[in-house]
Amino acid sequence: IKDNGLQCSIFDGENPLKITKPLRLIELFAGIGAQAKALENLGVAFEHYQICEFDKYAVASYNAVHGTNFETSDITQIHAEDLGIVETDKYEYIMTYSFPCTDLSKAGKQQGMSRKSGTRSGLLWEVERLLIEITKSGERLPQILLMENVPDVLSEKNRKDFFSWCEFLELLGYTSKYALLNAKDFGVPQNRERCFMLSWLGENCYYDFPAGKPLTKKLKDV
């Protein structure tokens, strides 16, 4: 897997990645549903299908924002069947897994995200467990995975774990791309850089992250 800031597993496919079926959204580490809100803002039709979020106040906020009725859950306690990935011939499933940045960010103690580290950022590997459980059950994996995290996920301390994760997804049949994107390049007057990673099943498709544009707004405009 090449590490040049914007990478693809092995090679690009021939066809642009497209969603052709009704979309069901599964949000792990859901928070208040910022990723769901982004889809809403883009006008994407989707079903709030499942979430996993430990913080009861975040879940209460999620339900208030999105008009849902989800309950709190612990990612260490849920299993593949709890995700309810069924009828994949009729539905596309996109699963987000923007795991805690607490132990990656420069604002924290930077204890890392290694397996069995016991850190909150190490909860990434619970996602690995869930995907393995789905594979062993014979069910189809989510067609699309989406992750957002701090740039430190690619730091010298964490890059080994990050690329181990990329290789795991590739073994499952996912093609992945990641990029460092800055909010100021997408119309938001804030210097906020984040790593985004998109993975999809199959190798015959490709996806390119959108190019940024010069910022025209100032903070006072918003």
Q: Catalytic residue positions?
A: 101
Q: Under DSSP, is residue 100 helix (H, G, I), strand (E, B) or coil? A: coil
Nearest C-alpha neighbor of 152 from the set 188, 184, 211, 109: 109
Coil, strand or helix: which one is 128?
Answer: helix
Amino acid at 201: L
Phi then psi for 22, rounded to 5 degrees? -55, 140
CA gap 129, 52 in Å, rounded: 15
Cα–Cα distance measured from residue 97 to residue 175, given in angstroms and rounded to the nearest whole number: 16
Neighbours of 29 (CB within 10 A): 26
Decide: 29 and 75 in contact? Cβ < 8 Å.
yes
Cα 37-43-44 angle, rounded to 5 deg: 80
The sign of the dihedral angle between the CA atoms of 209, 213, 218, 222 is negative
